[in-house]
Chains A and B, each alone.
Chain A
């Protein structure tokens, strides 16, 4: 409880300093008479808040979040569906690790926003271009962490399962997969983070007629010199990232750590 309070006070202070420097608190006599920066450079929190409030009520922000999350989810799931089996293959067979394993290592070093120019030429200004960039961002990190996870499974588990009469398929599904779960889940989490970053980059660069995502709002905020919109959307992006982590991954990780006995407490 005390730690939550610490966090809340810290953030209130940050916003307070921001408000004071941009003239929001002048009516209480706090802050410089003239704002240090023009509102085109750093808008005060009240304006950003007003923007978020209005556009949430009129449905623009919720709609764009829906569009963005749909793209994210589709791209992420495709990335997982391709990445996990390919990672298993690379962990199991030398030839696979020498080919797709090396390819994954190479492409993981490439920030996925670098795919945007190619994606635009190949797919045009379409949903497919966005998805392609998201998949390129997700796939390789999921593949590599699955491979790493399976390689770290102590071989004694598979030996024990075999002596108990489990065949190769049962051993893979009921022993090797659950044994590598902690690695695979942290890989999925990392993949999610990469997918999110990729999609934001893609939405900023690719203007798609089929729907305005959050990234596109950020882009048009820049075009129209509306920094309050840019900052407001940045807050939304942070919020979505945080919520995904807390709702999707933290409970899974906590359960794994408790079961495996790897938590610090």
Chain B
């Protein structure tokens, strides 16, 4: 039982750094520079949001951190160790739920846990149940995926990413396909879980409001070529409500700054 306690009550986090990363893509129109000399540092336990219009390279950078893509030059490091491929220290949540329809809810949460060698199946089941409870899906452990609503699916996907207890959680527009009501509920839940589990979270979105609501820091990207333009610290008290005035003011400020970069890019 000791191992189980440890598994659940330990909160590993990691520092993430990106150094001079460049990445080109070949398209019909020729080479496109998705990331142009991007450098940034994300501290342990920080909740950082990447914001920018499509084509600004924010998802590409997330895939590089996940180890799904390799940079053309530059390095991405976790606690000073270069990333060479996907690993259990980083879990990724996608825009579509990407849950496996041939497994039930708990089977999906167990999938990531099964890749962890230091647990036995009974312990894995306990851990999976704990995370389903954390995302309020414990009553649906044996449901099929297609029986769940969009919001419930993303909750299960969140539990699946959290269960192997990664140091870093990578989220690629995870709420963009959900309706506004469900999204607001999940904003509350994800802040709550971040407070409990103290993960380093990198959250990609094109919704500035969402970024300000969730992030401790918002990093603004601009496209053609993809660059980091500005970083905003968000010091508002948590849990934050997306309809809060100060939050709206700050996102207004970020949006106008974003428009400035876009206009500048178009006039080039």
Contacts and interface: CB of A to CB of B under 8 A. Distances in A.
Our verdict on whether A and B bind, yes or no, reads yes
Interface of A: 156-157, 159-166, 170, 174-175, 178-179, 181, 258-261
B98 A178 contact: no
B115 A163 contact: no
Contacts of B147: 261
Contacts of A164: 86, 88, 91, 111-112, 115, 160, 164
Contact of B112 (A157, A165, A259, A261): A165
Nearest to B163: A164
**Which of B66, B96, B101, B144 has the largest count of A CB atoms less than 10 A from its CB?**
B101
Interface in B73-122: 86-88, 90-92, 94, 96, 98, 100-102, 111-112, 115-116
Contacts, number: 62
Contact of B66 (A157, A163, A261): A163
A258 B143 CA distance: 11
Contacts of A166: 111, 115
A161 B160 CA distance: 11
26 contacts: A156-B96, A159-B68, A159-B92, A159-B98, A160-B92, A160-B94, A163-B68, A163-B90, A163-B92, A164-B112, A165-B87, A165-B88, A165-B112, A165-B115, A165-B164, A170-B115, A179-B100, A179-B102, A258-B144, A259-B101, A259-B102, A259-B144, A260-B101, A260-B146, A261-B101, A261-B147
Contacts of B91: 163-164
B164 A157 contact: no
**Which of A162, A170, A258 has the largest count of B CB atoms less than 10 A from its CB?**
A162
B145 interface: yes
A69 to B, nearest CB: 31
Chain A at the B interface: SS class? helix
Contacts of B92: 159-160, 163
Nearest to A160: B98
Nearest to A155: B98
Given A160-B94, A261-B144, A165 B100 contact: no
Contacts of A258: 144
Contacts of B116: 165
A161 B91 CA distance: 10
Nearest to B87: A165
A161 B88 CA distance: 11
**Which of A157, A163, A170, A259 has the largest count of B CB atoms less than 10 A from its CB?**
A163
Contacts of A161: 111
Contact of B94 (A159, A175, A178, A181): A159
Given A163-B91, A164-B115, A175 B100 contact: yes
Contacts of A175: 100
Given A179-B100, A260-B146, 11 more contacts: A157-B100, A159-B98, A163-B68, A163-B86, A164-B88, A165-B87, A165-B115, A165-B164, A170-B115, A260-B102, A261-B101
B168 to A, nearest CB: 11
What are the 5 tightest A-B residue pairs by CB atom distance, in nearest-first order?
A261-B146, A165-B115, A164-B112, A163-B92, A160-B98
**Which of B87, B88, B90, B98 has the largest count of A CB atoms less than 10 A from its CB?**
B98
Contacts of B68: 159, 162-163
A258 B102 CA distance: 10
**Which of B68, B86, B94, B102 has the largest count of A CB atoms less than 10 A from its CB?**
B102
Contacts of A178: 100, 102
A161 to B, nearest CB: 7
A136 to B, nearest CB: 32
B22 to A, nearest CB: 23
B145 to A, nearest CB: 7
A258 B146 CA distance: 9
B98 A156 contact: yes
A88 to B, nearest CB: 17
B148 to A, nearest CB: 10
A70 B96 CA distance: 47
Contact of A261 (B96, B111, B145): B145
A261 B97 CA distance: 15
Contacts of A165: 86-88, 112, 115-116, 164
A161 B68 CA distance: 11
B121 to A, nearest CB: 15
Contacts of A179: 100-102
A26 B87 CA distance: 82
B150 to A, nearest CB: 14
Interface in B130-149: 144-147
A162 B87 CA distance: 8
Contacts of A163: 66-68, 86, 90-92, 170
A157 B98 contact: yes
A170 B144 CA distance: 22
A161 B102 CA distance: 14
Contacts of A259: 101-102, 144
